[in-house]
Amino acid sequence: GLALAGCGGIPKQLHQAADGVPDKIKATRLQIEQKQKSYSTFVASAGYSDFKLYAEREKWEGEFGNAKAKLVEAESVLKRNILPLLEKNESEKEGAVQTQLARVNKMLREAEALALLAAAQRPGEAGVHPWREAAATHRAYAHSWGSRGP
C-alpha cells in the first residue's frame, strides 16, 4: 500500500478547478446583487406601476432569493463533497470530483440565469426584448463556463 502513495492522486487541474470555485461563487453573487439593485431601482420608478401586477403574481423579486439559495447550495457541495475528496487525494475519486465540480458549475449557471430573468422582466430599451437578450447572454455565459470548466 505505502509504495503506491507517491503515484496517482487527483490531477492538478482538478485541484485548481476546485480552488477557483469560491471566486466563481463570489463573482456570481456580485452579479446577482447588481441585478437586484437595478431591479430595485426599477421598482421605485414610475414605469414600474404597469408591471406591478405581473411582478407580484409571478414573484419576480423572489427569483433573486432563489438565485442566492443556489449559491449557498454550491458552497455546501464544495465544502461537503469536493474538498474532503481532494484532501484524501485518491486517484480513484477523480470521477467523483469531476461530477461534483460539474454540479457546482451547473448551480452557478442556474443562479446567474435566475437573476438574469428576474432582472430582464421589464421592457427592453431600444426595442430589444429583454427575455431574448437574457437567453442569449445565458447561452454565451453557459458556453464560456463549459470551456473553462474541468
Angle 72-59-121 (CA atoms, 0-180°, nearest 5)? 95
Q: What is the pLDDT of residues 81-91, one digit of tens each?
A: 999 999 999 99
3-state SS record for 9-39: CCCHHHHHHHHHHHHHHHHHHHHHHHHHHHH
Band (149; pLDDT cuts 50, 70, 90): very low
Q: Which range is least confidently modeled, 4-13, 22-31, 110-119?
A: 4-13
Cβ atoms within 10 A of the Cβ of 125, count? 8
Identify the pLDDT of residue 122.
57
Quote the DSSP letter at residue 149: -
How high is the pLDDT of residue 140?
52
- Rounded CA gap, 97 and 102, in Å? 9
CA distance linking residue 64 with residue 29, whole number of Å: 10
Q: What mean pLDDT is reported for the chain?
A: 81
Confidence at residue 48, expressed as pLDDT on a 0 to 100 scale: 86
pLDDT score at 124: 47
Q: What pLDDT does 90 receive?
A: 93
Rounded to whole angstroms, what are the CA distances from 45 to 25, 41, 99, 118, 141?
30, 6, 44, 16, 29
